[in-house]
């Protein structure tokens, strides 16, 4: 913490990832971060957040609700001024993006 009571963007980024890890894909019992659905988290100095994420498939049943859930949960973090989720399918999601933890959880290792 700095003297003005502000935290740096790296600390805020870590808090954002911690919150994202509480969000699960409804079809796979693994959080969306460990699944590799989050490609990037940007935090600017005004505490605006942009999250680049993908879905397991373009026809994912939660294509509408999952990005909104991510936005809402990130916006609820103290200091976050705004959050925007951008969905991309470039590169498309594959099981290679999953963390070792996710692969273990799903019995793939």
- Predicted confidence at residue 12, as pLDDT, reads 93
Count: domains in the chain: 1
102 domain residue, yes or no: no
CA distance 107 to 95: 13
- Predicted confidence at residue 103, as pLDDT, reads 95
Question: 29 lies in which domain range?
Answer: 9-94
106 domain residue, yes or no: no
68 domain residue, yes or no: yes
- Predicted confidence at residue 54, as pLDDT, reads 96
CA distance 2 to 25: 36
Question: Is the sign of the CA dihedral 14, 15, 20, 22 positive or negative?
Answer: positive
Is 20:70 a contact under the CB 8 Å cutoff? yes
The length of the chain in residues reads 109
87 domain residue, yes or no: yes
Query: Which CATH number covers residue 85?
Result: 3.30.300.130
Average pLDDT over residues 79-98: 95
3 domain residue, yes or no: no
pTM value surpassing 0.75: yes
84 domain residue, yes or no: yes
- Predicted confidence at residue 1, as pLDDT, reads 41
Q: Please say if the pLDDT value at position 92 is more than 70.
A: yes
Q: How many C-beta atoms lie closer than 10 Å to residue 105's C-beta?
A: 17
């Amino acid at each position: 913490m700095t003297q003005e009571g502000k935290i740096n963007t790296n600390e805020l980024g870590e808090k954002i990832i911690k919150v994202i890890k509480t969000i699960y894909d409804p079809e796979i019992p693994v959080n969306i971060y460990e699944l590799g659905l989050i490609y990037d988290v940007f935090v600017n100095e005004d505490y605006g957040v942009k999250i680049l994420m993908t879905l397991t498939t373009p026809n994912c049943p939660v294509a509408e609700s999952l990005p909104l859930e991510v936005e809402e949960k990130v916006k609820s973090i103290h200091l976050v001024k705004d959050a925007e989720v951008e969905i991309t399918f470039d590169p498309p999601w594959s099981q290679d993006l999953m963390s070792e933890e996710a692969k273990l959880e799903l019995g793939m290792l």
